[in-house]
Amino acid sequence: QVHLEESGGGSVQAGESLRLSCAISGDTYSNYVMAWFRQAPGKEREGVAAIDSDGRTDYRDPVKGRFTISRDNTQMTLYLQMNSLKPEDTAMYYCAASRPFPSWWLIIPGTYDYRGQGTQVTVSS
């Protein structure tokens, strides 16, 4: 079993930055693929970014060039650095973890084994 706990959300102005963290406990984290998802009010959950155990990353188009996903296997923590935030980035952000699987990089909701409770990010114009 894996437990995920996000932190770092908040309310910011457009153009500002936030760094989200996800503390992982439980199973062997270093082997897992990890991802961030988000869900805005009235919208479906969508993938944001993902990283595998070798550090390979993938990003969805809306955040490419602005967000950076990283992981610290020693500290068992996943990060999402979000720069140049826009109002459309407003959402609940969730981290997710899964044992390795081939399509991890597609960042499809529901394909990861574990998910945290989320942290709210609000960006005002």
Indicate if the pLDDT at residue 54 is higher than 80: yes
Return mean pLDDT, the chain.
95
Quick one: average pLDDT of 38-47? 96
Indicate if the pLDDT at residue 28 is higher than 80: no
Instruction: Say what the pLDDT of residue 42 is.
Output: 94
Return d(Cα 49, Cα 62) in angstroms, integer. Answer: 10
Instruction: Say what the pLDDT of residue 34 is.
Output: 96
